[in-house]
Structure 1
């Protein structure tokens, strides 16, 4: 036991060192961006239309204190998560069917290939007509944005599975549920998570566009109102919030891929 503990200690130290190094690099990147922004706003542009970061930070704190910023962030994030969850769930199910069942793929693939080239932003007016300007239209658009990306990646993951593994599992007496749980699902996990990571990034684009056109709250609505009244500081506050939310979501999926999916895919 003592020997095993001694062997595990260097690995744990190395993991912590790698984590701290990554965090330091991220903070250094944000700090350099902050400095470049300040220098550009003060010495290069010198315009009220490009405010310095400290002024934007002060405005962000002010909006956070009165609760309006947190309300808009929570509304937009809630819409994204709801639509993303629905789209991902549907995408994973349909993707497994397309990847594993050839007749279903031949029937359904033309529909998915046709619909995925119609951007969600083109359906905003249709969504408003169908669902109104309430939550349903935004959630529908986010789900639409998510589902096809997840379908394609999941189907690709299932199709890439080594057929010898499937045959070996069947020869060893694996049932269909066991084959799915122990062979298909682990092998497709990296592809599913990668598709969800890409879909999450696209969801931010869709929610801003939808809230710009038809919403009573959210970061997109905040951007629209700030444009109407030339509140440039508010615009930058909303943009920074979107950037940090997207960055955090992407880091979360990246961690999930590295933490859970690498064991199933040696190429990651």
Structure 2
């Protein structure tokens, strides 16, 4: 008969293999291998390139440290993040109710939808000059540009969410005596939440693209200004610092938004 000690010895390789597989899955989920691979490829490419053309990851890190010594990097990040957050929030605040209203009213939708589908193809950067003329070169023009970049993405996704609702659900609610307000609150909005969430998430990318362009043209602070200013002195490492910082800011904002979605919108079947 097999003893307990013999059984434990026999199970040790299986346990080790299971632990290794679990660790490997955890590593894959974090995406560390992707980042390591990217850094290796970047380092190899930089080794065979002129530092002024393609700085290495180490040179980029040194540039970030240099910019951080006087706090300018964090000041630029703060300005850009505040502008993006303000414009993105206000854009959602306007777009979500409007998308729900347009989607639930067929007459309004017939009148407004062609205009939306026309204007949305005009990129935000095309409006930089006009927004500077209309709202000045201060914060207003930049925030309105981000609102514009956010508005159409969120509106169209919200509109799509409303139109995806089965007509039978709305008729069933009305047949049970629900008012238009109750139909909106208990049927339309809950069913549209996943679409609204996706639209708001996609609009983040548009917001960052818009702010970089605005800061390059009309700003004395911000990550976009830092990138544009670095070209004057041919500080390519500073340009790469700006690119990496923008990526990190967007990534962290996206992860935070996804966490909020998973935490508070799980009952609405939000796929984060």
Please state which band the TM-score falls in when normalised by the shorter chain. 0.7 to 0.9
Task: Please tell me whether the aligned partners of residues 190 and 257 of structure 1 are also in contact (alpha carbons under 8 angstroms).
Answer: no
Residue 41, structure 1, aligned to residue 46, structure 2: yes
1:30 counterpart residue number: 35
Aligned partners of 2:98 and 2:155 also within 8 Å: yes
- Provide Cα deviations, 1:83-106, integer angstroms capped at 9, x if missing partner: 111111111111001110111112
Q: Distance in 2 between matches of 1:167 and 1:22?
A: 49
1:213 aligns with 2:186: no
TM-score (structure 1 length as normaliser)? 0.85
Q: CA deviation at 1:46?
A: 4.5
1:2-41 equivalences under 5 Å are 21=26, 24-41=29-46
Q: Determine helix, strand or coil for the equivalent of 1:118.
A: coil
Q: Does 1:52 align with 2:56?
A: yes
Partner SS, residue 226 of structure 1: helix
1:95 counterpart (74, 96, 99): 99
- Match in the other structure for 1:62: 66
Q: Separation in 2 of the partners of 1:49 and 1:38? A: 13
- The answer to whether the Cα contact below 8 Å between 1:194 and 1:257 also exists between their aligned partners in 2 is no
The partner residue of 2:162 within 135, 158, 164 is: 158
1:173 to 153, 174, 177: 177
Q: What is the aligned counterpart of 2:127 among 120, 123, 128?
A: 123
CA contact (8 A) 2:197 2:270 kept: no
* Structure 1 residue matching 2:268: 3-state secondary structure: coil
Q: Distance in 2 between matches of 1:215 and 1:108?
A: 34
Aligned-partner Cα distance in 2 for 1:82–1:261: 22
2-structure distance, mates of 1:61, 1:181: 51
In structure 1, stretches of 5+ residues that fail to align are 1-16
| Native 8 Å contact 1:79 1:138 kept in 2 | yes
Q: Give, in angstroms, the shift of residue 206 of structure 1.
A: 0.8
Bigger Rg over Cα: 2
Aligned match of 2:3:
none
Corresponding position: 1:108 with 2:141: no
2:145 to 133, 141, 148: 141
Change (3 A) 1:134 1:22: farther
Counterparts of 2:190 and 2:68, CA distance in 1 = 42
Deviation at 1:184, TM superposition (A): 1.1
Of the three residues 242, 246, 253, the one matched with 2:246 is: 242
In 2, Cα distance between equivalents of 1:267 and 1:208: 29
Distance 2:171 2:205 in 1: 37
Report deviation, 1:171.
3.0
Partner of 1:3: none
TM-score by length of 2: 0.84
Residue 7 (structure 1) aligns with: none
* Runs (5+) with no aligned partner, structure 2: 1-21
Post-superposition Cα deviations, 1:84-141, rounded to whole Å, max 9, x if no partner, equal: 1111111111100111011111222232222212211111000111112110000000
Secondary structure of the corresponding residue to residue 161 of structure 2: helix
Match of 2:205 among 201, 208, 216: 201
